[in-house]
Each structure stands twice: as structure tokens, then as C-alpha cells.
Amino acid sequence: MLVALLLGLLSSLSGVAGAATPYEQFLDHIAKARSIACTAIADGGKTLRIVATRDGKFRLESDEQQVISNGVVVWNYRPTIKTVTIAPLSQQALNDLFRLADNIAARYRATRTTNSTVLLRPADGAAMYGIEQLELRFRGRRLQTVTITRASGTERWRIRSLEFDRSLSESTFVFTIPAGVEVVDMR
């Protein structure tokens, strides 16, 4: 969910005039960014690295999998089962991402805002994807943690790094298939 939240915010939020609070500055950065790079660590130790561009290129890496898209093709690599699935990046998938971000922006409202914490809850009480609350914590102007609360539990992600408009090589969004890996080509 952290992936969808960050990618969704990157793809559709508009600027915040006179960004005064850390949260407003965060939204303003996302609204203007052409790319975002983030490394987050869950309380359980799982690490997630995200690099995404506004034009649909992305690279998501965790211990269990890598999902990479050059904006046309998606490679989904699972090293533990030595399989990579190659599929076209559908316009529908990109549109769904934009709708997700639009829905989050439209349906979740800040219920408590301080200089260091923002709680977002569904305005109508209907949780999207079971997300009852999002908590964003800042230290100074820097996003520190994102906590996602569902009925099934809470997951907290510490933001180790977050960069906007980092210079990215096209090779970032290309996957080289390792030797000995089963390839499922669905193009």
C-alpha cells in the first residue's frame, strides 16, 4: 500500500499554495515532482525501494520481488522462485493508479494536523482497501514515517530517504533477466 500511496500522490495531486506546514510542503513537492525516489523500512525489517516517474516508469524492489517498468513493459521478478513475468503495461493499469490517487485525495481528509503529525481518515467513513487511517509523521520538514491502519492491523514504514527530481538513467527502468530464470512472457 505504501507503493500505491506514493506513486498515486506523485501522479495526480495538485500544488498547495503557500505551503506552510511540513505536510503541505510534502504535497507541494509531490505535485511538482517529475520523479520520486524513496527507501522505506517496515517495523519488521522489510525494505522497500521505489523509484517512479510521472510518465509511468517505475522500479519497486523488496527482498521478495522486483517490479520494473520502462513505461511500456513490466517485469515482475521473484528471485526465490526464479521466475520473471513480462507483460505489457496497460493503459488501464496506469488509469487505475491515477484513480487510486484521486480517490485518496478526494476521500481522505486530515482529521488532526500538527507540525509533526497528520492523520488522514476517510471523510465518509468508508475505508478504501481497508485503510482506516494513514498517519504521516514529520521531523522538521522531512517525512519520517507512514503508518497504515487497517482492521487487520497496523504497518509502520520508516522513510529512510525521499528525493524528488533525482537525475535518473533510463537503465534504471530496464530489467536484465538473470541466467537460469524461468521466463513467462505475456506480451
Q: What pLDDT digit, counting tens, does each position of 10-38 carry? A: 443 334 444 577 877 877 777 788 888 99
Q: Round to whole Å and give the CA distance between 138 and 146.
A: 9
Q: Round to whole Å and give the CA distance between 102 and 54.
A: 15
Q: What pLDDT digit, counting tens, does each position of 154-175 carry? A: 999 999 999 989 889 999 999 9
3-state helix, strand, coil in the chain (%, to 5): 25, 45, 30
Q: Which residues contact 137 (CB under 8 A, 6 or more apart)?
A: 116, 117, 143, 144, 145, 146, 147
pTM, whole model, 2 decimals?
0.78
C-alpha distances out from residue 32 to 48, 72, 73, Å: 23, 23, 26
Hey, what domains does the chain have and what are their CATH numbers? 2-185 (2.50.20.10)
